Chains A and B, each alone.
Chain A
């Protein structure tokens, strides 16, 4: 399999000596949905900033499409930042302009595209994220959920190969976070981009991701398909996580001898209902 990003043995320490990443290795392929779960301070945000070259690995290497990243090569770095888009957790850290439209235009503006192309792209991504109606509004009059969608639009506008979202649903109500997850699905289907998101919501990660990474104390302690990883009690305990409730229900049914003819495990509430109806 060809990978877009490969991180090999990355170490990173903040200026106060706190080690954020400890010899971390990770491989990210194209057209995938990844989730990274882990407790606060596990180093998720730091890792994301390595992926787009904002933080430079002191030790270890970062590979992009089989090419080793050389931090002195600004052309390569620019290309990396275009293709690895990061949506930050706090939209107020990302929205620098008081104008919603202007903020979305910032990324494509930096890519040096001609203005008509930029305008077309802005409209496309703003319609996709349901923010087109907000284009004449001031950033400071938007709600938190609206700001979040605008910051996603700002990253989508650069047409990245990988879209990384740092806790995209944290602090949102269930309806809003549902909308965000649906949006991510649509984007993934439409563009074929890889999406990586970090979350504390393990049910969300289980339902949504094809592949999960469990991060703890600057390291990846487990990775694989969500239904495999989230069954490992020791991993869950170490990373302060609990088993997704849908998986819990299924395993409990299996333990009590109930059989189901369906091959795949249910991922969502609706799938679970169908699963239960089918049980014998």
Chain B
């Protein structure tokens, strides 16, 4: 789970302002969901994957693995759009007889399914582009720029940090239990896991108190006043992103109807 985070922190597109990547991802996502031409969708996926692989230098197998998750669920979802039920077989490319009905795929439903699949996939690729090139801290920072409520952002920041402490603590307990035969056999495993879970809560509580004490020591008064590193806008990036989106819009306009 956490190795993804590691790739995000070391990706090569990190050094410019995260806002430009967010704007690009959102604009491109908007174009992909408003447009119906598969050619545009495929181009979007290709561009985003290209950015991730060749500019951000995220290893190919990580990208492939990450895409396999939405692709599987999308395929299942799209299947239900493609397959239709009708009394007559007419117009179906292929069909199956179920009682007095026919289960089959028509040309129109197949087209809708393909467009939906590609549209979702291209939107997902835009999202992946943003989250894989932008560490969580910078995501929170961009949300701050978009004027998200401070309480929400403070919580996000603490939750994100605590996930790691939580998992680390859980692993420490697990290791110490298993080194004392805690997970030999089913019954003992269940028992040990129960202990782990209960102690994890107790430990989290103590930990949160300790953090609170240390926050107080540094003058905490109900708000996490922090300064983020200064990010620089990269004009070459902005130009490139603008050019790509313009190209996509033109491609959509000249390759058929926009819906």
Contact = CB atoms under 8 A, between A and B. Distances in A.
A82 B211 CA distance: 17
Contacts of A102: 137, 157, 226-228
Interface in A82-136: 82, 85-86, 88, 90, 92-99, 101-103, 105-112, 115, 118-119, 122, 135-136
Prevailing SS type, chain A contact patch = helix
Interface residues of A, number: 43
B207 to A, nearest CB: 7
Nearest to A94: B214
Interface string B217-250: 1111100111111100000000000000000000
Given A98-B160, A98-B161, A110-B220, A49 B213 contact: yes
Interface residues of B, number: 33
Contact of A110 (B14, B213, B221): B221
Contacts of B229: 99, 101, 135-136
B221 A49 contact: no
B146 interface: no
B137 A109 contact: no
A81 B221 CA distance: 12
25 contacts: A49-B213, A54-B217, A78-B219, A81-B216, A81-B218, A82-B219, A85-B217, A85-B218, A93-B207, A93-B214, A95-B161, A96-B158, A96-B161, A98-B161, A102-B137, A102-B226, A102-B227, A102-B228, A103-B226, A105-B225, A110-B219, A110-B225, A136-B9, A136-B229, A155-B218
Contact of A158 (B5, B136, B207, B219): B219
B165 interface: yes
Interface of B: 5-6, 9, 14, 135-137, 157-158, 160-161, 164-165, 168, 207, 210-211, 213-221, 224-230
B214 A88 contact: yes
Contacts of B158: 96
Contacts of A107: 218-219
Interface of A: 49, 52, 54, 78, 81-82, 85-86, 88, 90, 92-99, 101-103, 105-112, 115, 118-119, 122, 135-141, 154-155, 158
A138 B227 contact: no
B211 A96 contact: yes
Closest 3 CB pairs of A and B: A109-B225, A110-B219, A105-B227
A99 B207 CA distance: 19
Contacts of A54: 213, 216-217
Contact of A93 (B135, B164, B211): B211
Contacts of A106: 215, 218, 220, 224-226
Contact of A140 (B157, B164, B216, B218): B164
Contacts of A90: 210
A55 B25 CA distance: 49
B225 A98 contact: no
A241 to B, nearest CB: 27
A118 B160 CA distance: 24
Nearest to B209: A93
A97 B14 CA distance: 19
Nearest to A157: B218
A82 to B, nearest CB: 6
A78 B220 CA distance: 9
A203 B73 CA distance: 63
Nearest to B158: A96
Contacts of A138: 5, 9, 135, 137
Contacts of B225: 105-106, 109-110, 112
